[in-house]
Structure 1
Amino acid sequence: MKKVILLLIAVLCYSNLQAQISKGSIALTGTLAYSYSTYEDRDASTFQKVKNYELGPSVGIFIKDNLEVGANFNFGRERISNDRLSLGPPYTSDDRYRTFSYNAYAKQYLFLLDKIALHAVLSVGYNKTVTQFNSIYTGTSAIPSRSNESDSRYFSAGVSPGITCFISPKFALNLNLGLLGFSKTTYDSKNVELLNGVINFQDDYTSKSNSFNFDFSSATLNYGLTYYLGRQ
């Protein structure tokens, strides 16, 4: 048994020496997503449309063997429209979400086998989300229309472990397994209520929070596909 364990360690060490991503290689990763869905409740005469798209390019360069540094950006848009024609006054709402984020990161790889490596990612980033919400009761002037605009700014720093699996010499699937980090959030919200075109109520709200995150649940799992330019 002892000989088997020593042999396994030797194989892993040999694989680690042979398999690597060389200095000067470039890692290109990207996400592109679009979705469109509709919902209809004929009994309540309720209709909903949801549109969403997201774009997230990432570029990294290896400053030494198996050590990647880089940056990634993410842009997202979502729009949710609702119309209700019965069960109360006719009602329409329009919700819009815009997100933007960027992160600087360092990623260290440790090869266990020729095509499988553990990795750890140290990242520092910024995220900004703008939300606009409008609701209008079109069949009556007795119920005020409401609008809300909020701005959330999120700073974070953390470490995330994961696994990289090469499906070819230049393409790899990445699985990140969790997050250990710190975040700071500032949230600003402005609510306006209109009755017959006149401001009936107005409220401004600001909050700030700090949090420490230790989360390795399945909700933090995420996947990616990376192309390694210059890897042999």
Structure 2
Amino acid sequence: WIADVLEQPSEINTNVGVDIELNFYPEIKLYGEWMADDFILIPKTNPYPNRIGFLAGVYFADPLGSGNTDFRIEYTHINNYVYFPTHPWQDYLYQGEYIGHSLGPDADQFYLELTHYLSDRLNLSLSYNQERHGEGQIGIPLPPDPVIANENIFLFGIIEKQQAHQAKLSYTMSPQWEFSASITRENIKNKDNNIGTDEKNTYFQMELNYQF
């Protein structure tokens, strides 16, 4: 960052992250995250785009006044070229896996979730998830032309579109054990960024979780 301000060459890979949470009364919470994989402070010396991502969400506790229903809205946006280092030693990895949001670069996500507590131990969640993925992927380098890099900064090329609806039942058996069962209906257009390649899937899933 200091080298950038002084307009000097630098081998430092700068990453910045900010988390925020605001509580409005007991029933409403606003929260967000912002990260910069590469934040250009002086564009005249570095004409490449900012490689950033952010998440914004709102959580409503008991919006219906029934005492047993919660609602959540989230939006996530990640620019192309995020998580791409200039040098291999700067890889954003842990045990061979990329650290960061599972959505990956060149994508966004809109998420809704309604949770209704049927009892102290049993709850039902209904959710909707929508994702868009451009052709940008983790590890794809910046193009040598900064004009092209700026043009392709978000949702580049053929866009894969996903929609999923899910219903999930969760049962807390004890403070440590929880069992859940869910059904998900998924619709994908232009899968893997191949135009005209569409797919519809239905998933059934059961989980048994133990918390240490």
TM-score by length of 2: 0.52
Note the residue ranges of structure 1 that are not aligned, 5 or more in a row. 1-27, 62-68, 107-120, 162-176, 218-232
Once the two structures are superposed, residues 157-204 of structure 1 have per-residue CA deviations (whole angstroms, 9 ceiling, x without a partner) of 30265xxxxxxxxxxxxxxx4442231221313122699xxx833221
1:78 match: 75
| CA distance, structure 1, for counterparts of residue 173 and residue 208 of structure 2 | 11
Q: Check if 1:189 corresponds to 2:187.
A: yes
Higher relative contact order (CA 8 A, sep 6+): 1
Once the two structures are superposed, residues 142-164 of structure 1 have per-residue CA deviations (whole angstroms, 9 ceiling, x without a partner) of x9412222213032130265xxx
Are 1:59 and 1:71, in contact at CA under 8 Å, matched by a contact in 2?
no
Are 1:53 and 1:76, in contact at CA under 8 Å, matched by a contact in 2?
yes
1:131 match: 130
| CA distance, structure 1, for counterparts of residue 210 and residue 165 of structure 2 | 22
Question: Residues 73-222 of structure 1 correspond to what in structure 2 (within 5 A)?
Answer: 73-84=70-81, 93-106=106-119, 121-135=120-134, 139=148, 144-159=157-172, 161=174, 177-192=175-190, 200-217=195-212
Q: 1:47 aligns with which of 48, 51, 74?
A: 51
Letter in 2 for 1:53: G
**Bigger proportion of residues as strand:** 1
Letter in 1 for 2:185: Y
Are 2:130 and 2:164, in contact at CA under 8 Å, matched by a contact in 1?
yes
Are 2:158 and 2:195, in contact at CA under 8 Å, matched by a contact in 1?
no
SS state of the match for residue 145, structure 1? coil
Note the residue ranges of structure 2 that are not aligned, 5 or more in a row. 1-24, 41-45, 86-104, 137-146
| CA distance, structure 1, for counterparts of residue 37 and residue 184 of structure 2 | 36
| CA distance, structure 2, for counterparts of residue 215 and residue 154 of structure 1 | 21
The alignment-based identity, stated in percent, is: 5
Letter in 2 for 1:48: I
TM-score by length of 1: 0.48
CA drift at 1:36: 3.3
Once the two structures are superposed, residues 104-150 of structure 1 have per-residue CA deviations (whole angstroms, 9 ceiling, x without a partner) of 233xxxxxxxxxxxxxx32231221312213167949xx94122222
Are 2:110 and 2:129, in contact at CA under 8 Å, matched by a contact in 1?
yes
Q: Work out which of the two has the higher radius of gyration on C-alpha atoms and give 1 or 2.
A: 1
CA drift at 1:206: 0.6
Are 2:191 and 2:199, in contact at CA under 8 Å, matched by a contact in 1?
no
Letter in 1 for 2:73: G
Are 2:191 and 2:198, in contact at CA under 8 Å, matched by a contact in 1?
no
- Equivalent pairs, count: 146
Letter in 1 for 2:161: N
| CA distance, structure 2, for counterparts of residue 39 and residue 57 of structure 1 | 31
SS state of the match for residue 132, structure 1? strand
1:65 match: none
| CA distance, structure 2, for counterparts of residue 73 and residue 124 of structure 1 | 11
